[in-house]
Structure 1
Amino acid sequence: MAKYQLREAALELLTRVGEQGGYSHVLLDQEMNKHELSHKDGALLTEIVYGTLQNKLRIDFQIQPYIAKHKKLKPWVKWLLYMSIYQMLYLERVPDHAVIHEAVEISKKRGHKGISSLVNGVLRNTQRNGVRDIGEIDNPIEKLSIETSHPDWLVKRWVDQYGLEITEGMCYQNLKHLPMSVRVQTLRLSREEAIEQLAERGIQTEKSQFSPQGLLIVEGNILSDPLFINGQISIQDQSSMLVAEMMSLTPGMAVLDACSAPGGKTTHIAEKLEDTGSVFAYDLHKKKANLVNEKAILLQLHSIQADQADSRELSAFHDLESFDRILLDAPCSGLGVLRGKPDIKYNKREEDIFSLRKIQDDLLSSIAPLLKENGKLLYSTCTVDKHENELAIQHFLETHPEFEVDENFHKELPEHLQNSYGVSELGLQIFPHQWDTDGFFLTRIVKKKRA
């Protein structure tokens, strides 16, 4: 990239995410494709954008003394300061003087002399005075909030639900990079064959404990590997792989995936079914449903039929009691995936959890009648909140007495999860710091046999 162009691109992305509600992972992908960035430039751009977002509240705490009197900072100026301070505090390979120089030049180009003087002053004060001591904060929740850049309301909510120790574990873990994991399309090659082929190209892997199809990428760029490009492996977090593993699938079944995009779990289901039977996949948006079909084609799976529909109205398309298995990977607050989507921390509000819960309740009630007698429904979310997880299941069971948690669910969990502190009678909550995965909840409900 030309001089300053990478930092200018980072600033543009951060301003769009921070001020306009753009999705960081989507905008980053678009930017990389647009400029065809080298691996090195792409990595640095990603580091600056994600790192700044991950640590925004802590950075804001650092610079508040220097900007407090400037009440009406333009958004781009604020984000230029944030990303510059991030580089100065966290990126050792970028010298402070280079960061300050680039920031001042960008501010000259985008603003006027007063703005460039302000930027120069704030950054040089930070360089001169060093890091503010977070230890001066007495309130443990406020301290944890700033130190790990999680909104105060979220830290308090997690402490109320899970206690301080688990909350600290989650918050600190959310600042770390999430290891990349992939799922092998075992109808096309075995996990052992994938390990061997990847190793030949310098990509080191470890076997996942969550799925016999899963691999952790220890070293190497999987995105440029032929196995990924040709659809013989696909990217999926380990906790997400557990869903299809826990659906008790056998070939020939009729399966419904009610909220299927982007299709990772849908295609895993088809693989577990050995591409037999039928997988009906739906999403509220046509474009997203098309992504599921595209993924199925890439992975060479033929049993998937994805279409657009509001899954609260699927009884118009399918007879009652027509599915052996149903997956409801419900729309949720996404508080388990903050490492990969840090902007969620700042865009979500506590009231969003309650409005989402209404959708979750409606989906469960609408979809449940489509399950055959003795059929199994897997409910999952990528969040860490009892209101959307255990309490949603408890409410459903209280209002639908013909269902119960499958007594075999806990016994069939991978051994390392069976005694996890996230296990309850209503399901399994996976916390991000337990196994270095996304935060995730899942449970399996069975429709009782009629007397």
Structure 2
Amino acid sequence: MKKNDQVRKIALDLLLKIGEKGGYSHLTIDQAMKKYDLDTRDGALLTEIVYGTLQHKLTLEYYLNSFVNKKKKLDNWVKWLLYLSIYQMHYLTKIPDHAIIHESVEIAKKRGHKGIANFVNGVLRSVQRNGLPDLNEVKKEDKRISITTSHPNWLVNRWIKQYGIDITKAMCETNITHKQISIRTQPLKVKRTDLIKQLHEDGLKVRASEISEQGILIDQGNVLKHPAFDEHLFTVQDESSMLVAEMMDLSEGMTILDACSAPGGKATHIAEKIRDKGTVFAYDLHEKKAKLVKKKAEQLGLTCIQTGQADARKLDQVHEKATFDRILIDAPCSGLGVLRSKPDIKYNKEEADIKKLVSIQQEILESVALLLKKDGKLIYSTCTVNKEENELVIKRFLNENQRFIVDPLFFEELPIGLRNSQGLTEFGIQLFPQDLNSDGFFITRLTKKDSVK
């Protein structure tokens, strides 16, 4: 089997695992890379085909429906083979159509029979000959956004109701583009200026983040192949995620709680910001995930992090009231802000799932807030874009807990470029993917009033 044939065969297997059996895209791809020991070029092609096909699934489905009789029942593997083939023909430029068609037909022969192979050949030849339908002919704006950006219609309409048509359209369009890679330096090991200089000298194009004094944006080059990665001089972290610890108003010697900490990006960022002087208690519901946080801390040479398995809703049974100077609740959420990295999320979520999450978020906030010291600060964040999980959770909490307010200084301490953000409300800041070319995130900071009137 030729190499490209093998990559497409693996891609089809992965798409079936993710698209039909609920596998997680990033984990499934990582496992395949290790299993098949693919070189850099084949690994990049596999990642492009799998992520790209997933990212554009609803668009590809719309295209395919123009060439296949709606009454014809297709096996799942045939559908995904056609999706990945049309994806390559339409979105990729380096591989000629005839090669894509030939390889797809060969896969169909081996996986099915001659009749299926002839069918696949016929569909793809029609696509090549006639071209794909014009998406501008979809008249309803919500449906057109849904199809052109491959977001479920219920989600598009939800965002339109919450944020308006312009923000929704920009968000959906951003979600199908490649995301900026950013890293966070370990300041106890290396200065940001020194690492930037080293990366430049080694041929990468990078620049300093304006969101975090530890952040570096990678414009060109594979930073994961650089020796600094193996030396754990930096952590790969999205700028929106970096902003969480940056907004915690941290200083050395503090006692800090990270209630939902895995995989440890924010816990280790907190530890770095207090220069490993203080104590960070980092918990996760699953013991295996808590161990990931511990491993991450060890790699970065951080000793102030104490990890453990615990349900965040029951941490008031683990710690005394008024124990912590700072608390971070990076709450479990629908993940609708990270669709560029995990495109399968948008097809697997339903509105009912969100309601369950809101209940959990509320419980965690109510329980963990008891652990905050009188003059402490509590940061609530999620990696989602959804008012029900963000502003409305905070609004309800404040209504039921009159001692707490949104810290007014939070808004003054935001990076200058975000102080007039369209995502600002009285309850915090909603970062949209288009704001920083990063993940969608919600962040706010609560503190206690001296007294209740």
CA displacement at 1:122 relative to structure 2: 1.0
Q: Deviations over 1:337-366 (max 9, x none)?
A: 111111111011111111110110010001
Is contact 2:385-2:441 (8 Å) kept? Answer: yes
1:15 equivalent in structure 2: 16
Separation in structure 2 between the aligned mates of residue 47 and residue 395 of structure 1, nearest angstrom: 42
CA displacement at 1:399 relative to structure 2: 0.8
Separation in structure 1 between the aligned mates of residue 84 and residue 229 of structure 2, nearest angstrom: 32
2:74 equivalent in structure 1: 73
1:301 equivalent in structure 2: 302
**Secondary structure in 1 aligned to 2:281?**
strand
Alignment-mate amino acid for residue 193 of structure 1: D
Summarize the Cα distance change of 1:383–1:36 in structure 2 as closer, same or farther, 3 Å threshold.
Answer: same
1:113 aligns with 2:114: yes
**Secondary structure in 2 aligned to 1:31?**
helix
2:50 equivalent in structure 1: 49
1:208 equivalent in structure 2: 209
2:175 equivalent in structure 1: 174
TM-score by length of 2: 0.98
Q: Deviations over 1:21-69 (max 9, x none)?
A: 1011111111112222211111111110011011111111111032234
CA displacement at 1:407 relative to structure 2: 1.1
**Secondary structure in 2 aligned to 1:93?**
coil
- Cα RMSD, aligned residues only: 1.1
Structure 2 unaligned regions, length at least 5? none
Separation in structure 1 between the aligned mates of residue 446 and residue 151 of structure 2, nearest angstrom: 33
Alignment-mate amino acid for residue 102 of structure 1: E
Q: Deviations over 1:189-239 (max 9, x none)?
A: 110011111122212211111100000011111112121112110100000
Alignment-mate amino acid for residue 396 of structure 2: H
CA displacement at 1:159 relative to structure 2: 0.5
Q: Deviations over 1:123-175 (max 9, x none)?
A: 11111110101122111100110011000000000111111100110010011
2:311 equivalent in structure 1: 310
1:224 equivalent in structure 2: 225
Separation in structure 1 between the aligned mates of residue 90 and residue 52 of structure 2, nearest angstrom: 11
CA displacement at 1:450 relative to structure 2: 4.5
Separation in structure 1 between the aligned mates of residue 311 and residue 57 of structure 2, nearest angstrom: 36
2:344 equivalent in structure 1: 343
Separation in structure 2 between the aligned mates of residue 199 and residue 306 of structure 1, nearest angstrom: 36
Is contact 2:239-2:436 (8 Å) kept? Answer: no
1:359 equivalent in structure 2: 360
Alignment-mate amino acid for residue 312 of structure 2: S
Separation in structure 1 between the aligned mates of residue 61 and residue 403 of structure 2, nearest angstrom: 52
TM-score by length of 1: 0.98
Separation in structure 1 between the aligned mates of residue 192 and residue 145 of structure 2, nearest angstrom: 41
Is contact 2:433-2:440 (8 Å) kept? Answer: yes
2:412 equivalent in structure 1: 411
Separation in structure 1 between the aligned mates of residue 66 and residue 235 of structure 2, nearest angstrom: 47
Separation in structure 1 between the aligned mates of residue 291 and residue 227 of structure 2, nearest angstrom: 23
Separation in structure 2 between the aligned mates of residue 238 and residue 435 of structure 1, nearest angstrom: 8
**Secondary structure in 2 aligned to 1:4?**
helix
Tell me whether 48-57 or 133-142 shows the greater mean CA deviation. Answer: 133-142
Alignment-mate amino acid for residue 95 of structure 1: P
Structure 1 unaligned regions, length at least 5? none
CA displacement at 1:86 relative to structure 2: 0.1
1:246 aligns with 2:239: no
2:371 equivalent in structure 1: 370
Alignment-mate amino acid for residue 289 of structure 1: A
State how many pairs are aligned: 451
